[in-house]
Amino acid sequence: MLQDALAQAGYPRHLLVACSGGPDSLALASVAAYFARRGHVEGRPVTVGAVVVDHQLQEGSAQLAADAANTLRELGLAPVEIRTVTVAGEGLGPEAAAREARHTALDAAARDQGADAILLGHTLDDQAEQVLLGLARGSGTRSLAGMRPARGKLLRPFLGLRRADTEEICAVEELDPWHDPSNADPAFARSRTRVEVLPRLEEKLGPGVAESLARTAAILQLDADYLEDVAESTFASLVERNGRELSLPEEALRALAPAIRFRVIAKAAADVGGQQPGYQRLLAAEALLRRQGSAGPVELPGGVSVYRLSLAQLETRPKADSAGGADQRAAVPRGGARCGKLVFRPQKPPAK
């Protein structure tokens, strides 16, 4: 599986294994070490380093990170480094904050080592848990599509393996993985999904539930990619800019299929500095298209206000010039639709 992932990624010359010392990432490190000892993959040169991220969330985490690093060096990976991070994501839950800190550390380690790819040890079980969590939260296609086998420098070659397979690899290689107690802590939704929900589903619905959920993610990834491409090109063709704000013509928005319309609205919000809106906020913004006259604002996450401006207001509205002033009238196409626009306005001034 790792060999296939490297082939699809164009045979990176230097790999960075992200290893916590747990069975999944340690099994991945041992497989990667095989290619490190050979020095090539399919005749193409390769070197393999590793990074252990110490989140400092548990007592003795520094020693656990040091033990994992020593194991990686014994496997023959080089260089091996430890990155200590502080988990303090403002406005994020503990899992999201830890993930953000970890990925920042991984990006920095990859940059310093000159790594072309970062290997992550997520398994089929992790993918199934991700899909279940997305279902429970009422998420959309992108969330239900789960984790990608490849995204930028990130490669997940073990998404087709069960967690039991990685434990078996560790046993065969005589490796002693660390088992993170938080993985069984019912305080975390992912842990409850892993320990209680997924086993219960397998018990009641029969074996193969995890594989079916992972297969669903793979199918939805194709759908999500297609919808994303269409939404991106549609947004680019419709967007009109006026200083720091932007607008979308409402007649063109109304003509779009709902799946694309909602995505275009979300892209507009992100373009002016907002965050991904939830479904209810998107519904509220989209509902402005059915209002008469000027309406709004609808507030979206990240400090973005959405308004519907009527044609009459647009005809007298000042338009920012190239220097950021407001000495022109906003142009309204002659003979065009007698409709207004959705305007997306950031509430905060740009960072200096």
> What pLDDT, in 10s, does the model give residues 256-275?
999 999 999 999 999 999 99
pLDDT number for residue 337 = 38
**Residue 294 contacts residue 310 (beta carbons within 8 Å):** yes
- pLDDT, tens only, 58-115: 899 999 999 999 999 999 999 999 999 998 866 667 788 888 999 999 999 999 999 9
Q: Mean of the per-residue pLDDT values for the chain?
A: 89
pLDDT at 335: 32
State the Cα–Cα distance between residues 346 and 352, nearest whole angstrom.
15
- The CATH number, out of the four listed (3.40.50.720, 3.40.50.300, 3.40.50.620, 1.10.1510.10), of the domain defined by the range 2-220: 3.40.50.620
Q: What is the pLDDT of residue 240?
A: 96
Q: Residue range 219-248: average pLDDT?
A: 96
Please tell me the predicted confidence (pLDDT) of residue 322: 45
Q: Once rounded to an integer, what is the mean pLDDT over residues 202-227?
A: 95
> ω before 350 within 30° of 0 (cis)?
no
More confident residue, 312 or 168: 168
Distance CA 293, CA 342 (A): 12
- Average pLDDT, stretch 340-349? 88
Q: Give the model's pLDDT for residue 271.
A: 96
Tens-digit pLDDT profile for residues 189-199: 999 999 999 99
- Residue 17: phi and psi, rounded to 5, are -90, 125
CB 275 within 8 Å of CB 302 = yes
Instruction: Give pLDDT tens digits for 224-237.
Output: 999 999 999 999 99
Q: For the chain, give the percent of residues with pLDDT over 70.
A: 89
For the chain, the maximum distance between any two Cα atoms, rounded to a whole number of angstroms, is 76
Does the pLDDT at position 253 exceed 60? yes
Q: Which residues contact 122 (CB under 8 A, 6 or more apart)?
A: 24, 147, 156, 158, 159
Contact 269, 277 (CB under 8 A): yes
Q: Which of 51, 46, 50, 21 is nearest to 36 (CA)?
A: 46
Backbone angles phi, psi at 3, to 5 degrees: -60, -40
pLDDT beyond 50 at 118: yes
Range in 33-37, 155-159, 347-351 with the lowest mean pLDDT: 347-351
pLDDT of 93 reads 74
Q: Please list the residue range(s) of the chain that carry CATH number 3.40.50.620.
A: 2-220
Q: Which of 256, 334, 344 is nearest to 300 (CA)?
A: 344
Distance, CA of 156 to chain centre: 13
- Residue pair 82/47 in contact by the 8 Å Cβ criterion: no
Q: For residue 89, what pLDDT is reported? A: 62
Give the three-class secondary structure for 350.
coil
In this predicted structure, what is the pLDDT of residue 307?
94
Alpha helices in the chain (DSSP H): 2-8, 23-38, 61-75, 94-113, 124-136, 141-144, 163-172, 189-192, 198-205, 209-238, 250-255, 258-271, 279-287, 311-316
Q: Give me the half-sphere count of Cα atoms (radius 13 Å) on the Cβ side of residue 73.
A: 10
Mean pLDDT of 129-157: 92
Residue 60: how many other CB atoms lie within 10 Å: 8
Q: Residue 22: which pLDDT band, with cuts at 50, 70 and 90?
A: very high
pLDDT of residue 349: 66
Please report the pLDDT score of residue 316 as a whole number. Answer: 55
Q: Which amino acid is at 171?
A: A
Residue 321: pLDDT over 90: no
Greater confidence (139 vs 124) lies with: 124
Lowest mean pLDDT among 215-219, 244-248, 332-336: 332-336
**Which of 14-28, 304-318, 329-343 is most confident?**
14-28
Cβ atoms of residues 214 and 128 within 8 Å: yes
Neighbours of 248 (CB within 10 A): 23
Task: Give yes or no for residue 317 having a pLDDT over 70.
Answer: no
Q: Tell me if 279 sits within 8 A of 272, measured CB to CB.
A: no
The average pLDDT across 40-45 equals 94
- pLDDT for res 286: 95
